[in-house]
């Protein structure tokens, strides 16, 4: 199985600060034939299901604020929140859907300081 | 509008079989590229994809749970059913169903773009 490792496990920032979450996969998730990274980012607020934020490593889903951005390729990926808002308090997960079984990271909890 | 909803027992006894139904609307599980998966989340823990069924009835299972899982679909009812045998207290979790819609070619991967609200299943005697 591909192991997804996120860092940090949690972070607490002030409103308006920049948040960065890292995700590292134990194997490459870039499919060379189509040059796509099979990597997604989800946001999960308490008591809610996960919400897809980013697909294909860097494609923001419709309705996702543009303060959310993501980058990376191969085995190393990053989710950024450019100006942290109160409504961004959540746990964020990365997921690879390249190699079965699809696997998730352990999650990164984002809080307001 | 795309919706998915999980239904099934909230409490299951150890060794029993859990049967969960995902009833969806707003899309068809006969459309190429579409699939429905089951994902679970123990309290306070991360997500684990259990099983996935594609539009063409191809199926994928978590290797560690494969012997206990069966996923089926009924396209006429817009439902996907997951059966999990020999339940144990460690299987206590919120069980989600979710859709994929972009699995058009090898390696047949696509993110989960719509999720149900989840069903909490407690395994206890």
| Per-residue pLDDT reduced to its tens digit, B94-125 | 999 999 999 889 899 999 999 999 999 999 99
Tokens representing residue B9 in the block: 């027992």
Report how far apart, in Å, the C-alpha atoms of A70 and of each of A37, A53, A80, A110, B14 are. 12, 9, 6, 16, 42
Please answer yes or no on whether A104 and B109 come within 8 Å at the CB atom: no
Contact criterion met (CB below 8 Å) for B113 and A61? yes
List residues of chain B with CB under 8 Å from any CB of chain A: 46-49, 52, 60-63, 96, 98, 100, 102, 105-107, 109-113, 115-118
CA atoms within 13 A on the CB side of B91: 25
* Euclidean distance between CA atoms A91 and A106, whole angstroms: 10
Contact criterion met (CB below 8 Å) for B83 and B66? no
* Euclidean distance between CA atoms A9 and A74, whole angstroms: 22
Confidence category of residue A9, pLDDT binned at 50, 70, 90:
very high
Tokens representing residue B104 in the block: 């058009």
Query: How does pLDDT run across A33-87, given as a tens digit for each residue?
Result: 999 999 999 999 999 999 999 999 999 999 999 999 999 999 999 999 999 999 9
Q: Say what percent of chain A tops pLDDT 70.
A: 100
Using CB atoms and an 8 Å cut-off, which of residues 50-69 of chain A contact chain B?
A: 50-52, 55-56, 61
Residue B19: predicted pLDDT: 98
Residue B14: predicted pLDDT: 98
* Euclidean distance between CA atoms A47 and B41, whole angstroms: 12
Confidence category of residue B93, pLDDT binned at 50, 70, 90:
very high
CA torsion, points B8, B11, B17, B20, in degrees to nearest 10?
A: 20
Residue B6: predicted pLDDT: 98
């Amino acid at each position: 199985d591909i192991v997804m490792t996120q860092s940090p496990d949690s972070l607490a920032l002030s409103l308006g600060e920049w948040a960065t979450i890292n995700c590292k996969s134990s194997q490459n998730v870039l499919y060379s034939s189509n040059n796509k990274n099979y990597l997604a980012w989800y946001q999960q607020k308490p008591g809610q299901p996960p919400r897809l934020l980013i697909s294909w490593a860097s494609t923001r889903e419709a309705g996702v604020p543009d303060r959310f951005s993501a980058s990376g390729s191969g085995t190393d990926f990053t989710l950024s929140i450019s100006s942290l808002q109160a409504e961004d308090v959540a746990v964020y997960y990365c997921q690879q859907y390249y190699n079965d079984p699809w696997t998730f990271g352990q999650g990164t909890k984002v809080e307001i300081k | 509008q795309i919706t998915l909803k999980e239904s099934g027992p909230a409490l299951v006894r150890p060794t029993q079989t859990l049967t969960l139904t995902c009833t969806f609307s707003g899309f068809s599980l006969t459309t190429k590229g579409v699939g429905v998966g089951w994902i679970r989340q123990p309290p306070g823990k991360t997500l684990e994809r259990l099983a996935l069924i594609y539009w063409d009835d191809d199926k994928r299972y978590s290797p560690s749970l494969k012997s206990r899982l069966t996923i089926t679909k009924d396209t006429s009812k817009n439902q996907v059913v997951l059966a999990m045998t020999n339940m144990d207290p460690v299987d206590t979790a919120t069980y989600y169903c979710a859709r994929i819609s972009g699995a058009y070619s090898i390696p047949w991967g696509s993110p989960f773009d719509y999720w149900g609200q989840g069903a909490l299943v407690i395994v206890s005697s």
